[in-house]
Every structure is written in C-alpha cells, then in structure tokens.
Structure 1
Amino acid sequence: MTQSDSAPGASPPSHPAYAQLRQVTPVAAVMLENNPGMMTLDGTNTWVLRAPGRDECVVVDPGDHDEEHLHRVAGIGPVALTLVTHRHFDHTGGVEKFAEITGAPVRAVDHRFHRGGGTAFEQGEVIEVAGLVLRILPTPGHTADSVSVVIEPDRSQPGAVLTGDTILGRGTTVLDDSDGDLGDYLTSLRDLIGLGGGRTVLPGHGPDLPDLETVARQYLAHREDRLAQVRSALDTLGADAPVRAVVEQVYSDVDPTLWPVAEKSVNVQLEYLRR
C-alpha cells in the first residue's frame, strides 16, 4: 500500500495519535501502531471489535512485533478471538507474541499464523463472537490470502467492513507482485460494491471512510484508468517493454522515489494483460 498511486481528489486528513484507542463506530475502535512508512502510511490500524455492554472483544490485525503496542491492545479487554486480514508482516509480525499474551485463538487464511487452535476461514463463514456477527469475505488481489471482515448491521449500528489493505483510508493499494492478481482484485472490488451503501470502511492503514460502496467504485474506476494507461504505454513502447519503462511513462506525475513501489502494481498489471 502506498500514497504513490493516489486516487483523484484524495487528501491526507488528520489521523489520531498513536497508542490511543479511538472509537469509530458503536462496535469498532482502532489503535494505531507507531510503525509509519512508505508501505504503511501512518502505521498499522489494529481494530478492536466489541458489542455494547460486552467485556470480551475481537482483535483484527495485531500489527508488527511491537511489544508495547501488543500489550496495550491486549489490555483493552479479554480477547476472545484474533483475526488476520492478510499475511504481510505489518499485520502479522506480532501474532506469535499477541497469542502468547492473550491466549486467544488466531484465525487466518494462511496456516502459518494459526495459533491457539485457530483454523482457516471457510468460504462465506459467519462468526458469532463477542456479541457480534462477523462475515468473512474473501477479497484476494492485494495478496492471494486477503480477506475483508464484514460487521453485519443491527439496531445499534449500520454495519462496517474491515478491508485490510484491499481498500485504504487514503491513496490506493499496491498489488503484491509475488502473489497479487489484478483480475482477483477487480472482482474483490466489485464484491465490496455489491455489499451496498452506508457501510463504514475500516481500513488496515489510514483513516476510516464513511461509505464503502462509494470508495470501492472510486477504486475500481481508478484501477481501470491505470490499466488503460498501461495498455497505452505498451502500444507506444512495445508489448515486451520492461516494467521500469512502463512505470516512467504511466507514473510520470508521481515522485520518482516511489517508482520502485509502483513497479509492483505494474508487474501485476502486465501479467494480467499478457496472459
């Protein structure tokens, strides 16, 4: 993920301070980890989900291996379950320690992160825990194992979706060229659009956003625009043009220091077009 491929009209709003729990919806609060960087924006959002009046909670993406952060999150309340949206270290580096601190099972697509009896998600699985109904929606593309967590609406809240790195709070998502896939990503965006309007976006990085359908449509349009630009670059440079040449043409409006990151997404786009 990065700001190098910014969506039209995007601006960097203010973000809460590190190490402070911020309530976003009646059931979702966020703790921002102090690990800012080119690939993490302000840092990793660790989400804490809990129904009103309940003690136990669900933690989504404990973050990197920062023991202060992990202990701070664990101290918010008894953790019934930990969920992982995808394999990247800034979301999973702390899994081992967090499981040790809380004793809570950890569930993820990738078996490497299972702890405490946690298992892989089943297709379309619905999890009832901590007074909440959570639906696991596969959203591959950023990585092969990416999922989103749908908080189903009820009388206390209109619903929200934890999107991991599939949709960010600002900018757009870099597709990992080791196992990301543009075709999967476009399908995932359409699946998120299909959830309908009115759902809050709770991203893995950056601020929360008010309406998932609107943001997902912007992401889809932006990705299709970039794909058209890559096609045009290949028409000019030749079908076998190297990735850096394509990046220099398509991302000429982007700071060149960010081109190595853009290469990841372009590699995935080239693979999509050439197959």
Structure 2
Amino acid sequence: MTAHVTAPATALANQLPDWVTLLRAPNPGPMTLDGTNTWVLRQPGERLGVLVDPGPADAAHLDRIAAHGPYSVILVTHGHPDHVDAVPAARERLGAPVRGLVTEYQQVPDPVRDRTVLSVGGLTVTVLATPGHTGDSACFLVAGPDGQRVVLTGDTILGRGTTVVAWPDGDLGDYLASLRLLATYDGLVALPGHGPALADCAVAARFYLAHRQARLDQVRQVVAAGVTDPAAVVAEVYADVDRSLWWAAERSVRAQLAYLNGLEPQ
C-alpha cells in the first residue's frame, strides 16, 4: 500500500546561492504548508532583482518584497491565488513587468513561451513549461555568472509532501511528462512554491514519478474491483490521508481516472 507522503522527496538543500533570498508569505495551511514561497533573485552588485511569485494579497508581505527591490521583472509559476493575488499591487508598486507562461492569466500582458530565455539582473532565466499541476504551470531554470544553477519549481515539486493535480485544469499525463523533464536536472537545487529548498531537483522528480505510478496502480486495482465513483476511490486509495484533504485528493483521483480512460480535461 502506498502511504501518504508528508516528508521531503529528497534531502534538503544545506546552502543556497548567495543570489537567492526566500520571503515566505504569512499564509500557512494544509495546502500551503508553511506559506507561499516568494523568491528574490539578485546577483551581488546588481541593482535590479527578479521576483518570483509575489504570493497572496498581504500588505506586510508586499512591504517585505518592496524592501528587497527594485526589480527588473516579476515571474509567476502559475495562476493559483496563493501565488498571484498580490500581482496587481506588486506590479503597481514595484513598476516591474509581469511575465508568465500563458495569455489566459490576465495579469500577464507579455507572456513568455516554453524555452524563452531572459537575461535579467546578471542572471539567465530559461522558462520551462511544466503543465500538470495546472495547465499554466511553469518552472524557471536560473543560472548565475558563478556557474550555479537552480530550478524554481512552483507547485510542480513541493518542499514537503506531494502536490495535487488540480483537475480539470490539471492533467496527469502532462504532469508525468513534466516530472520526466525535471528528472533531467541532476544535482540542481529545487526552490519550490511551498516548503524548504531541496538539494536535488532530479531526485525529487524521480521520487514523485515513482509515487504517482504507485498511486495509479492502486487506482487501477480499485477500478478493476468495480469502484469507479471518484469519492469512493478516494476512500479506498487515500484512506491514510486526513479527511479534511479528501476534496483535494478527489481532484487528483479525477485526473487519474481521466488518464486511465484516455480522456482530456473538459
């Protein structure tokens, strides 16, 4: 039986590049862990930094963000409210453009595409389209002139536990493909949207892949036994998960059932 994962998927990072700063938003909860991670990237000696995921609309958090400015760009990993509700206020206060993966996200007037390369503040940022958690999820591969590289993983890989494939926007097939992509970044620190930084993005991605496949095998077995209602599948497969989180588990189950049936999100 595959157990509910609450621990980190790999060892924690014991050191971050000196151009990485974490500002954690004050919104802890079952789905946000310790709170949403806002990341500030600034090469020493550079005036302008890069802001990733301003987080929830919290005045004190925005004050902390502004205190670490100014910024050349605001990047968003995906459009969930706990990552982007602060975007309108941040854009107005900081005067920096907002860049994200898709035009459907209304706060991104100048969207980027997969493999877009941005040279900002002495850093090179490569956009990686990683749909699955949501349709608009992106990760950012960032390289500094010191040769160090990190991957900002948003909610595709978390610092603790596993993430939800947020059906119907999320898609399990896309998510597995995104994890296989992230599994190629061996030895790079992962800076997640929630939880602590992880020492190795690739190791975490491979752990996630194995866990997802194990859960999928469980769902196959339950469906073969005649249980097809999503809520009933949750009760069978996610019995070890706190009931307060079953609503989120049901979204993942719906994504799993669609994947097994070869269906596309509606």
Q: Same fold (TM over 0.5)?
A: yes
Q: Name the counterpart of 1:149.
A: 140
By how many angstroms is 1:5 displaced?
A: 4.1
The aligned residue for residue 171 of structure 1 is 161
Q: 2:236 aligns with which of 249, 267, 272?
A: 249
Unaligned runs of 5+ in 1: 15-22
Residues 109, 10 of structure 1: CA spacing in aligned structure 2 closer, same or farther, 3 A cutoff? closer
Distance 2:193 2:82 in 1: 10
Alignment of 1:1-275 (within 5 A): 5-6=4-5, 10=8, 24-111=16-103, 112-114=105-107, 118-152=109-143, 154=145, 156-195=146-185, 197-238=186-227, 241-275=228-262
For the residues of structure 2 that align with 1:139 and 1:194, how far apart are their CA atoms? 13
Q: TM-score, normalised by structure 1?
A: 0.88
Q: Which runs of 5+ in 2 are unaligned?
A: none
CA distance in 1, matches of 2:116, 2:127: 5
Asked if 2 retains the 8 angstrom alpha-carbon contact of 1:105 and 1:114, the reply is no
Q: Residues 153 and 105 of structure 1: is their aligned pair in 2 closer, same or farther, counting only changes over 3 Å?
A: closer
How many pairs were matched up?
A: 257
Q: Could you tell me whether the CA contact under 8 Å between 2:4 and 2:240 is conserved in 1?
A: no
| CA–CA separation in structure 2 for the residues paired with 1:122 and 1:265 | 26
The equivalent of 1:20 in structure 2 is none
Q: Is the 8 A contact 1:142 1:166 kept in 2?
A: yes
1:94-116 CA-partner distances (Å, limit 9, x unpaired): 0000001101000112433436x
Amino acid at match of 1:39: M
RMSD, matched Cα: 2.1
1:32–1:44 contact (8 Å) kept in structure 2? yes
| Distance of 1:174 and 1:123 partners within structure 2 | 22
Instruction: Write the distance in 1 (CA, Å) between the matches of 2:80 and 2:4.
Output: 19
Confirm or deny: 8 A CA contact 1:84 1:91 kept in the other structure: yes
Letter aligned with residue 162 of structure 2 = T
SS at match of 2:225: helix
Distance in 1, matches of 2:35 and 2:51, equals: 16
